[in-house]
């Protein structure tokens, strides 16, 4: 029966006909308003039939809606089941990072565990008090009339009231002071980030970029081709050596005016043989290329390049270009970088921008791409334009050999030899240029383990360098404002303060304020300012806007690794001097091989041309064998912090702090995903 509408009007309506169109697999509903009773006499038979038909139609509609809801629930249940199965498989096959954790990491992890167990205890304590209606703060205690019943004077009540007074008098003041200090540092760092973005906008608006001093015609006429030494340091990088050597050997520069040094520090005999054979193959074609291998790997990459610079023939060369094993410069790289040195006798370095062949491979590479796009387009470009100084990126750059020698050459005293030589050259008065429009392709680490080791080296090394060169900066003859820029901006603000406040504020102080509500963090610190900074960071990579929330959460998650590395480098603890070559996947090699297959001609019988199809099958077969050896790691620090943040999120529900709850919840989930190594590729 159709519903009655007597409450709406005195005139009785006979119902609202509903037409259901069954169009497989969709359906639609059309409503037709019914006529008045006076107009229905003539069609009374039709109306009566219409009422009977409406009930059936509504039944069908309800059944279809129920079917769709059941299908959605089934899909969600299936997705949850597959996700849980994937998590279970990864956890069962995972390995903890305990076997590579020195004493510092164990102490750091122990401190986090203490916070975790304390927060769980306080959560249970607060829940019990909340259920009894005792969710109060210290200022509320004197105004509450306490009943004299035996139950209220129980031990639990005495402990809870004592805890409230204790936290208000002894815990809240220092916690609030630390929170305020971190907020001030946060605002200073945000202001620095905002000023850098304004500088980048100004550069774009004015179209400012370094221009070579009237050498373009000279290059085209062949009048400016100075002697260039090209160094390719590599170590056990079997996946990427082939395409990198090939790209460097195809550089458009007179062969009589360049020499390629392949500096192989590989400890694997098979990799050594493969690289040596590749060099010999190109040497037979007339490319000026030599192979160098060190038996003793002293000083890692810095020691490798220092040894190569001691060769007697280096004195014949004016510039040195450096490319790591996974970098593939374009053929015109030297023609677009070397001309900037002509007429600039005080120019020491021309740095090119990186681009990434695997930036869309997974979520981890997408998030790295956001960070590095901001680093190059904003930080490096602004510093290069306005102050002619920035940190050398270690590769895809051309150095004046005279500047290297004047700065003291390569030193093995830190794990960031590129930043070390840049700072020493800056103290000698040399200038740098960054070319944002010259790109060099490379790879991003695709596994969290490789990315984590890379970030540890990148954040412990600057603190080692800061300790070693602080006195040299103070005694140097450069301008005072340049000294202030080096000490306060380059080192303290961007290398020390950033990881310190990021970890302390969002991973320790914020969860603790949930259990000590007398100390507070305003919502704009938790939400609005970080969201604004993430928005600015993502501007150089506009295609990554859908990942702005994962980017914000992941940056806070990485603060654990960066903070640990910063402390170990500053105080020379644990793995401060640990050097691990970043694992490469050789994505561009796979692409090159596939392109060769597509271009492979159909050879006649008896032809000696290589069979790329059979080679591909062997590569796929080998990759499947290697895939069986892959596993993921279980990161205990990240997991402990995940449960700490989720516990604090549960506590925030008791005080109805909306923004704090959602931030802690999603940040805890982010730590959980990273702790289970569910982001990025698995490692071998």
Strands (E), 58-178: 95-96
Give the pair of three-digit tokens for residue 626: 């290697």
Rounded distance between C-alpha atoms, residue 118 and residue 515, angstroms: 10
Instruction: Choose among 186, 184, 254, 198: nearest CA to 222.
Output: 254
- What's the residue count for the chain? 684
Q: Indicate the burial class of 62 (C-beta count within 10 angstroms; 0-12, 13-18, 19 or more).
A: exposed
Gap between the Cα atoms of 588 and 326, Å rounded: 9
CA distance 294 to 307: 9
Helix (H, G, I), strand (E, B) or coil at 260: strand
How many helices (H) and strands (E) the chain has is answered by: 24, 12
Residue 324 appears among annotated catalytic residues: no
Between CA 468 and CA 470 the distance in angstroms is 6
Helices (H), 94-171: 103-131, 155-166
* Separation between Cα atoms, residue 560 and residue 507, nearest integer Å: 8
Residue 41 known to be catalytic: no
- What is the DSSP annotation of 462-522? HHHHHHHHHHHHHHS-S-HHHHHIIIIIIIIIIIIIHHHHHHIIIIIIHHHHHH-TTS---
- How many CB atoms lie under 10 A from the CB of residue 44? 11
What is the spatial distance between Cα 359 and Cα 362, in angstroms, rounded to a whole number?
8
Range 305-341 burial, b when 16+ CB lie within 10 A, else e: bbbbbeeeebeebebbbbbbbbbbbbeebbbbbbbbb
- For the four alpha carbons of 383, 389, 391 and 396, in that order, the dihedral sign comes to positive
CB 458 within 8 A of CB 393: no
Which of 97, 264, 326, 418 is catalytic? The answer is 418
- Residue of 97, 265, 324, 677 with catalytic role: 265
- Cβ-proximal residues to 66 (8 Å cutoff; 6+ apart), any chain: none
Give the ranges where 40-102 is alpha helix by DSSP (H): 44-93
The span from the CA of 200 to the CA of 151, in Å, is 66
Distance of CA 655 to the CA centre of its chain: 33
DSSP 31: E
Q: Which of 448, 445, 422 is nearest to 326 (CA)?
A: 445
> Angle CA(349)–CA(355)–CA(357) in degrees, nearest 5?
145
Catalytic residues: 265, 418
């Amino acid at each position: 029966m159709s519903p009655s509408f007597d409450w709406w009007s005195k005139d009785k309506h006979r119902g609202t006909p509903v037409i259901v169109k069954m169009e497989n697999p969709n359906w639609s509903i059309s409503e037709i308003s019914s006529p008045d009773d006076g107009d229905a006499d003539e069609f009374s038979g039709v109306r009566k039939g219409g009422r009977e038909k409406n009930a059936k139609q509504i039944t069908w509609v309800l059944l279809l809606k129920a079917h769709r809801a059941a299908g959605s629930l089934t899909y969600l249940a299936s997705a949850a089941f597959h996700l849980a199965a994937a998590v279970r498989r990864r956890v069962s096959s995972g390995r903890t990072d305990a076997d590579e954790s020195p004493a510092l990491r164990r102490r750091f992890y122990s401190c986090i565990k203490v916070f975790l167990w304390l927060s769980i205890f306080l959560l249970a304590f607060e829940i019990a008090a909340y259920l009894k209606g005792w969710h109060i703060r210290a200022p509320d205690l004197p105004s509450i009339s306490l009943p004299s019943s035996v139950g209220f004077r129980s031990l639990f009540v005495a402990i809870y009231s004592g805890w409230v007074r204790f936290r208000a008098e002894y815990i809240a003041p220092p916690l609030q002071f630390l929170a305020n200090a971190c907020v001030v540092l946060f605002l200073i760092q945000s202001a620095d980030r905002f000023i850098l973005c304004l500088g980048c906008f100004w550069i774009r608006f004015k179209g400012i970029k370094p221009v070579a001093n009237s050498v373009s015609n000279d290059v085209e006429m062949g009048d400016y081709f100075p002697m260039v030494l090209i160094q390719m340091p590599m170590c056990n990088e079997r996946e990427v050596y082939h395409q990198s050597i090939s790209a460097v050997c195809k550089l458009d520069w007179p062969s009589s005016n360049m020499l390629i040094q392949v500096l192989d520090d590989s400890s694997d005999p098979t990799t050594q043989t493969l690289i040596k054979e590749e060099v010999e193959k190109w040497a037979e074609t007339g490319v000026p290329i030599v192979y160098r291998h060190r038996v003793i790997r002293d000083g890692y990459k810095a020691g490798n390049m220092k040894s190569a610079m001691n060769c007697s023939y280096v004195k014949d060369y004016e510039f040195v270009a450096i490319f790591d094993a996974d970098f593939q410069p374009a053929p015109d790289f030297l023609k677009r970088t070397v001309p900037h040195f002509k007429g600039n006798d005080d120019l020491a370095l021309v740095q090119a921008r990186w681009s990434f062949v695997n930036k869309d491979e997974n979520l981890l590479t997408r998030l790295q791409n956001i960070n590095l796009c901001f680093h190059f387009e904003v930080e490096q470009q602004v510093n290069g334009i306005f102050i002619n100084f920035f940190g050398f990126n270690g590769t895809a750059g051309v150095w004046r050999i005279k500047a290297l020698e004047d700065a003291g050459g390569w030193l093995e005293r830190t794990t960031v030899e590129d930043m070390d030589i840049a700072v020493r050259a800056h103290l000698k008065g040399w200038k740098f240029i960054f070319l944002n429009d010259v790109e060099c392709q490379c790879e991003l680490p695709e596994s969290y383990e490789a990315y984590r080791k890379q970030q540890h080296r990148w954040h412990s090394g600057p603190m080692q360098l800061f300790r070693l060169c602080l006195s040299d900066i103070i005694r140097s003859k450069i301008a005072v404002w340049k000294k202030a820029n080096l000490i306060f901006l380059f080192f303290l603000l961007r290398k020390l303060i950033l990881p310190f406040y990021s970890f302390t504020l969002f991973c320790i102080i914020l969860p603790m304020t949930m259990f000590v509500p007398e100390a507070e963090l305003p919502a704009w610190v938790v939400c609005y300012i970080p969201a604004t900074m993430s928005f600015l960071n993502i501007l150089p990579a506009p295609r990554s806007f859908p990942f702005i929330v994962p980017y914000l959460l992941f940056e806070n998650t990485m603060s654990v690794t960066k903070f640990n590395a910063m402390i170990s480098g500053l105080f020379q603890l644990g793995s401060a001097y640990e050097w691990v070559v970043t694992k490469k996947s050789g994505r561009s090699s796979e692409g090159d091989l596939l392109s060769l297959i597509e271009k492979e001609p159909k050879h006649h019988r008896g032809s000696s041309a290589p069979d790329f199809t059979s080679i591909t099958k062997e590569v796929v077969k080998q990759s499947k064998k290697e895939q069986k050896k892959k596993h993921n790691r279980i990161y205990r620090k990240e997991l402990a912090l995940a449960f700490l943040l989720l516990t604090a999120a549960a506590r925030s529900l008791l005080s109805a702090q909306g923004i704090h709850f959602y931030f802690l919840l999603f940040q805890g989930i982010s730590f959980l995903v990273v702790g289970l190594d569910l982001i990025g590729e698995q490692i071998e």
